[in-house]
């Protein structure tokens, strides 16, 4: 199976590039942000719990997030070409949990696609996206807090995956198709 982690700050283009990866490689998509937003829309207990974290730009606690990911992954069954993990892992604990979940299935992370975009551009993109996304967390104030959390809790994962020999650094600014061509080269090298 092709197990891709798409990695980067909020606004780095993970969702956009995930769509192109899915189209090219036929893998399944797990976006933890989308899963949570769906639960909020449906008004489930999980949604009610998640909304306060998300709207403030904070992370959902690891133990809960790991359980959610495990159940979404289980629901996919075994008959899939692979998965693109979008928005997970966001902490070292989640990265260890993902390794464990995959190894229990005889699988592993194939590659981590790291989209590199500087903070000013990220804030600009998030504020622009906020005009149409309807997301309460897409505004300048919350975006800054989300970026702080990204730098303190998520960015250390870059080193974790570099040390594992799995990190592909991709410049995330410029033409969408050109960015994708770099991603495709990196994925084809491990396929
Ligand atoms: P995203 O759509 O990936 O930007 O996620 C939106 C929000 O959902 C984040 O700012 C977090 O509040 C929450 N979230 C999504 N994925 C995770 C995760 N792996 N761990 C903790 N919180 C998450």
pLDDT tens, residue by residue, 28-60: 999 999 999 999 999 999 999 999 999 999 999
Contact 161, 112 (CB under 8 A): yes
Where do the domains of the chain lie, and which CATH numbers do they carry?
2-27+83-190 (3.40.50.300)
The CB of 87 under 6 Å from ligand 1? The reply is yes
Pocket test for ligand 1, best of 59, 117, 147 (most atoms within 8 A of CB): 59
* Nearest atom in ligand 1 to 69's CA: 19
The CB of 54 under 6 Å from ligand 1? The reply is yes
At 171, is the secondary structure helix, strand, or coil? strand
The CB of 172 under 6 Å from ligand 1? The reply is no
pLDDT in tens, 95-111: 999 999 999 999 999 99
Please report, for residues 59, 83, 84, 126, the alpha-carbon distance to residue 7 in angstroms, rounded to integers and kept in the order given: 16, 14, 10, 16
């Amino acid at each position: 199976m092709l197990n891709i982690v798409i990695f980067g700050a909020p606004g780095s283009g993970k969702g956009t590039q995930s769509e192109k990866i899915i189209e090219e490689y036929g893998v399944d998509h797990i976006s933890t942000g989308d899963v949570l937003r769906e639960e909020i829309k449906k008004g489930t207990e999980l949604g009610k719990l998640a909304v306060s974290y998300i709207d403030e730009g904070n992370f959902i606690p690891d133990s809960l997030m790991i359980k959610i990911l495990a159940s979404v992954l289980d629901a996919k069954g075994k008959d899939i070409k692979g998965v693109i993990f979008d928005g997970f892992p966001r902490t070292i604990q989640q990265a260890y949990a993902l390794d464990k979940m995959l190894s229990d299935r005889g699988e592993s992370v194939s590659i981590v696609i790291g989209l590199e975009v500087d903070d000013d551009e990220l804030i600009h993109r998030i504020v622009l996206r906020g005009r149409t996304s309807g997301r309460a967390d897409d505004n300048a104030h919350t975006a800054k807090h989300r970026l702080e959390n990204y730098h303190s809790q998520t960015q250390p994962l870059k080193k974790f995956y570099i040390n594992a020999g799995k990190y592909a650094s991709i410049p995330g600014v410029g033409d969408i198709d050109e960015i994708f061509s770099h991603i495709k080269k990196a994925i084809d090298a491990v396929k």
